[in-house]
Structure 1
Amino acid sequence: MRFVSFSTLDGRVKGYGLIKGQGVIDLSKRVGDRWPTLDAIIADNALQTLTADAENLPVDYALSDIQFEVPLTHPGKILCVGVNYPNRNAEYKDNQVAADYPSLFVRFPESLTGHLQPLLRPAESEQLDYEGEIVIVIGKAGRRIAQNDAMDHIAAITLGNEGTVRDWVRHSKFNVTQGKNFYHSGAIGPWLVPFTHAAQLNDIHLATYVNGELRQNDRTSNMTFSFAWIIAYVSTFIPLNPGDIIFTGTPTGAGARFEPPIWLKPGDVIEVQAEGIGTLRNVVRDEG
């Protein structure tokens, strides 16, 4: 099942629903009084309930009549893991050994856009880059979560393009915040897939294509820090709450690592794909 936040092209409806075939069942008009957004459903641990109740309902809109929005309207913390696949450390060519702990940084909600919406290249730089990732959505609160229990805290999974303005991540010695947070420089979606068992994540294929060319290609079983490890580690220093989002790292092959680098330009199509989740697709456009 795939849950989506959407708006109709005529602007009259903004809500959430369930993908069915080539259409959307509008759940917000049916249960919106109880759960006004997908965020509320996550907070109430109700994805599985809605799946069982809604699968026989009729479609309200064709996919061609909606715009995909960012799945969570008001996400909690947006945490991102860096350097988490084989060869990613070597890509930096700084002669440093791989770290014992992951690089972590944050994104702000305004830095992300939805499926099929433009990925914006800012006027301040031409060095916009892509990073395809698996994204997990926390559904159960916890602090100092044990690895053995960590997967029980995931409510849903989705995809992310952790778009990065490369020269701006090097404006200061230890700070990447600026280059990771340009307005609509990244994307998330297209939908939320309820998480029910470890096989949905433990060894799935993750790939990123730019204009149909395969650029990133790996499996989650190769991650340096597993999904359970990330949840346990992060929850050591900060509580995790329903609606928190974690981008779990990107494979080798980003544009910055080519010789010379290959930056995204207007008209480029980026597709992030993963088994059992789907495809997140965006086209680059210059901001403004």
Structure 2
Amino acid sequence: MKLLSFLPPGSPDGPARYGAVTDRGIVDLTARIGADFPSLRALIAADALEAARRAIAAATGADHDPAEVTFLPPVPEPQKIWCIGVNYRDRNAEYRDNSDLPKYPSLFVRAPTSFVGHGQPVVRPRQSEQLDYEGELVLVIGKAARHVTAERALDHVFGMTLANEGTVRDWLRHGKFNVTQGKNFDRSGSIGPWIVTADELSLDRPLDIRTRVNGELRQQDDTGRLMFPFADLLAYLTSFATLMPGDLILTGTPTGAGARFDPPRWLVPGDRVEVECTAIGTLRNDVVDED
């Protein structure tokens, strides 16, 4: 099942709705089960996929054309957005510092306001010209988790989506010990277009990931080459924090970001970034300058 949050045509100011993408179009689940589950995050927290399936099966047609709605990040107001740094094997070598493979994952957090949905403009901020792309696979948590083992960790995954974890490179070193500033500019990244539920994915098998800029392939890898696989990430995160339904985990980007070219290839207004996974779909966004 593909689940999304969106604004219907003619409603640019909301309220937001959620639904399912089917072969016929978008089935509006807010209209059918919204009284019980007012948002996609509420549906996830209630473990109510069966209610969504019944509503989709009962629908006589689609309510919206995907080409006419405004896509939002699929999970409204997630409690936590964890981001994993340097997780594909070639990324460690890409830093050229002769360091050993890390013992533990590198972590930072992002605010929901730093992301837009599929098809919405990603913003290059007025403070910098060094906006970069990072295509990533994203885990969506379905059940609260603390102190889970790697063997049971994937039981807590609701599904997966995609992200362009946009980064303002020269702001990553404004503070001595953190990268938070460069990772949290408003609307500098994107998430979407939808969540593919875990029952339609093989989370224990490699998933591909590709990033294109203006049609040019820049990043390509698969999760069989992660230094910290999905289950290990969940086990590590839940060793110190409780993961809640709707929390997002961005699992790392492959080699090939713009900063690694000589000279660097920063995003400029008019560029189109596409992040793809065969099992999920394509997240597409154009770049604009901040007003």
TM-score of Structure 1 vs Structure 2, range by shorter chain:
over 0.9
Q: Which of 153, 156, 159 is residue 156 of structure 2 equivalent to?
A: 153
Q: For 2:199, what is the secondary structure of its paired residue? A: coil
Report what 2:19 is aligned to.
17
- State the TM-score, normalized to the length of structure 2: 0.95
User: In 1, Cα distance between the equivalents of 2:261 and 2:144?
Assistant: 40
Q: For 1:237, what is the secondary structure of its paired residue? A: coil
CA RMSD of aligned residues (A): 1.4
- State the TM-score, normalized to the length of structure 1: 0.96
Structure 2: gaps spanning 5 or more residues: none
Q: Which of 276, 284, 289 is residue 273 of structure 1 equivalent to?
A: 276
Q: For 1:50, what is the secondary structure of its paired residue? A: helix
Report what 2:6 is aligned to.
6
Q: Which of 202, 206, 209 is residue 206 of structure 1 equivalent to?
A: 209
For 1:135-174, list aligned pairs within 5 A. 135-174=138-177
For 1:31-70, list aligned pairs within 5 A. 31-57=33-59, 58-70=61-73
Q: For 1:236, what is the secondary structure of its paired residue? A: coil
Q: Which of 112, 126, 132 is residue 123 of structure 1 equivalent to?
A: 126
CA spacing shift, 1:178–1:88, aligned 2, 3 Å = same
1:113 aligns to 2:89 (yes or no):
no
CA spacing shift, 1:114–1:201, aligned 2, 3 Å = farther
Task: Give structure 1 regions of 4+ aligned residues with deviation exceeding 3 angstroms.
Answer: none
Query: Percent same amino acid at aligned positions?
Result: 51
User: In 2, Cα distance between the equivalents of 1:199 and 1:113?
Assistant: 27
CA spacing shift, 1:86–1:152, aligned 2, 3 Å = same
CA spacing shift, 1:52–1:226, aligned 2, 3 Å = farther
User: In 2, Cα distance between the equivalents of 1:201 and 1:270?
Assistant: 28
User: In 1, Cα distance between the equivalents of 2:40 and 2:94?
Assistant: 38
Write the letter of the residue equivalent to 2:222: R
1:182 aligns to 2:185 (yes or no):
yes
Q: For 1:140, what is the secondary structure of its paired residue? A: coil
TM-superposition CA deviations, 1:197-218 (whole Å, max 9, x none) = 7624631111000000000000
Does the Cα contact within 8 Å between 1:201 and 1:220 map onto a contact in 2?
no
Count of aligned pairs between the two proteins: 288
Report what 1:257 is aligned to.
260
Q: For 1:252, what is the secondary structure of its paired residue? A: coil
Deviation at 1:240, TM superposition (A): 1.0
Does the Cα contact within 8 Å between 1:130 and 1:254 map onto a contact in 2?
yes
Does the Cα contact within 8 Å between 2:88 and 2:252 map onto a contact in 1?
yes
User: In 2, Cα distance between the equivalents of 1:251 and 1:148?
Assistant: 25
Does the Cα contact within 8 Å between 2:83 and 2:108 map onto a contact in 1?
yes
User: In 2, Cα distance between the equivalents of 1:52 and 1:82?
Assistant: 39
Q: Which of 243, 246, 254 is residue 243 of structure 1 equivalent to?
A: 246
Write the letter of the residue equivalent to 2:152: D
